[in-house]
Amino acid sequence: MTKMKVEEQEKARTKARMSGSLMLIEALKEEKVEVIFGYPGGAVLPLYDELYKAGVFHVLTRHEQGAIHAAEGYARISGKPGVVIATSGPGATNIVTGLTDAMMDSLPLVVFTGQVATSVIGSDAFQEADVVGITMPITKHNYQVRDISELPRIIKEAFHIATTGRPGPVLIDIPKDITTAEGEFDYDQDVHLPGYQPTTQPNHWQIRRLVEAVSQSKRPVILAGAGVLHANASNELRQYAEQQNIPVIHTLLGLGGFPADHPLFLGMAGMHGTYTANMALYECDLLINIGARFDDRVTGNLKYFAPKATVAHIDIDPAEIGKNVPTKIPIVSDAKAALQELIAQQGKPADNAAWLEQLNEWKRRFPLHYEPEAGTIKPQKLVEMIYELTNGEAIVTTDVGQHQMWAAQYYKFNRPHRWVTSGGLGTMGFGLPAAIGAQLADRSATVVSIVGDGGFQMTFQELSVIQELGLPIKIVIVNNQALGMVRQWQELFYEKRYSHSLIPNQPDFVKLAEAYGIPGLRAKTEAEAAEVLKQAFAMDGPVLLDFHVRADENVYPMVAPGKGLHEMVGVKACEELSR
């Protein structure tokens, strides 16, 4: 068959008449979607009937929240949009948390929700909810399909919007009668959105201004966020930092964008950042923000944030520039494009030898630390052991809380796209389902889901999916019998009034895992922890590990609410540690 005939057949197929449900399936094939996460219900039964016939790979999670967090994990690791299907009413409202999470962390999702028939919309029909109204503030864009002829265009636009500019979730609400109606499937059309034209290339003049600012600086520093990872610009970041000899700090979500073992890396910034990173932000005279949004957990009290610095901000979203921190050199651009232009300029490096010497002295004198203790498991040591066993190569997912911060501090991410966590929204229950999506995005990777005993109990039903698919995820429960970060704040700021943050009556997590057909192991001392970790990573399939850690351990350093980054508590010098 000639190439021309194949192209003619392809065009004929894309303009054939078919049901709305089949249109959606064909559109997903055109978009090369590899996996769908979802949960069926009445309003999407026609769609699921077509899924049954098409044989598309679909993961039936045990809750819609599990589906959307799994899609987030998939998107974070693969860089491709995560696809979710939920039914109308409660199915749609169960994904609201995940939509908000993806919106705040700039993750590309395309979410399809069922809706009652167009003839009864607005009548409070069974399982009706105003999904468009509910999700408008928490999506990059959303649609409700009212005409079958619009469905192909809307789906194509949704994938375009979700994956271009600043990534984010896009929702399509589809009434049930649209899924059964017939129309012409024309997917061979260009996306044309006059009001949506993201700027991806930097302004040359602004790049020159930054080049000059670097050459005149004495104390420059780079703050790199998740925008570097979304742009696949890790190599460019390293090349630019080395060319200009500028130290690099990461946000929580930016970890892995610059090698943690690189001499120019200063650590994570913010509330639980390293002493060196936070003091560098306080003392620098030039701050180059690349793909971070100056979140309050990074800046602390804005009055004291980078008070001596000229601020340059590279971001693909112009709304973020100048929003929280006054910016003298704004550069609206894709991070990779901006870094490539900066590298090409070959600007004169800063005269910063004394600055680098000071930073190295801080790194030496004020490292991250914890006090070893016999007869228990220190959570920091647990993370270090996992790092050593995996050679730092694992994909690590977490929930939110103390364990998340310890993982960020003590697991050294030297490669991009190895770190999956909830940043802006801080979603408990995120880690386990996100690990499912991450493992499906990279089947050959070692995936470790580090979760707290509180967050784990919000979505542990997804153990069933892990067992069903045979995903070799290692689930590490950092069990301190408390909502750890809540307890820490109550200890420090509420005079130890532990109001409903302690959970002494826990289930037997090992037996729970075994009930789902997954091996479970438990450890209460460091020696036991070392042994069960070796056992777990020697197993091919999934394993759940219940580690009973020191219950009153706190995360340090810490910047208290209302304080500046230079006002950290829990910092100790090496001289003090050696006493």
DSSP string, 401-456: SHHHHHHHHHS---SSS-EE---SS--TT-HHHHHHHHHHH-TTS-EEEEEEHHHH
By C-alpha distance, which of 461, 398, 455, 449 is closest to 429?
455
Annotated catalytic residue, options 7, 126, 346, 511: 126
Torsion 89-93-98-101 (CA) sign: positive
Separation between Cα atoms, residue 568 and residue 371, nearest integer Å: 18
Both tokens assigned to 249 = 């700090």
64 counts as catalytic: yes
185 counts as catalytic: no
Separation between Cα atoms, residue 248 and residue 264, nearest integer Å: 6
DSSP string, 90-155: HHHHTTHHHHHHHHHTT--EEEEEEE--GGGTTTT-TT---HHHHHGGGSSEEEE--SGGGHHHHH
23 counts as catalytic: no
320 counts as catalytic: no
Annotated catalytic residue, options 156, 176, 336, 381: 176
From first CA to last CA, the distance across the chain in angstroms is 80
Q: Tell me how long the chain is.
A: 579
**Using an 8 Å Cβ cutoff, are 221 and 245 in contact?**
no
206 counts as catalytic: no
Annotated catalytic residue, options 31, 64, 157, 526: 64
Q: Tell me the β-bridge partners of 476.
A: 450, 545
To which H or E segment does residue 356 belong?
A: helix 353-365
Q: Tell me the β-bridge partners of 448.
A: 396, 474
Please name the residues in contact with 523: beta carbons below 8 A apart, sequence gap of 6 or more: 377, 529, 531, 532, 545, 546, 547, 548
**Using an 8 Å Cβ cutoff, are 545 and 478 in contact?**
no
Both tokens assigned to 166 = 């600043």
Compute CA distances 514 → 34, 151, 517, 524, 544, whole Å. 30, 45, 5, 19, 9
Helices (H) and strands (E) in the chain, counts: 25, 20
Separation between Cα atoms, residue 287 and residue 282, nearest integer Å: 10
Annotated catalytic residue, options 104, 268, 485, 568: 485
By C-alpha distance, which of 369, 390, 391 is closest to 381?
369
By C-alpha distance, which of 169, 172, 158 is closest to 100?
169
Which residues belong to the active site? Answer: 64, 126-127, 176, 485
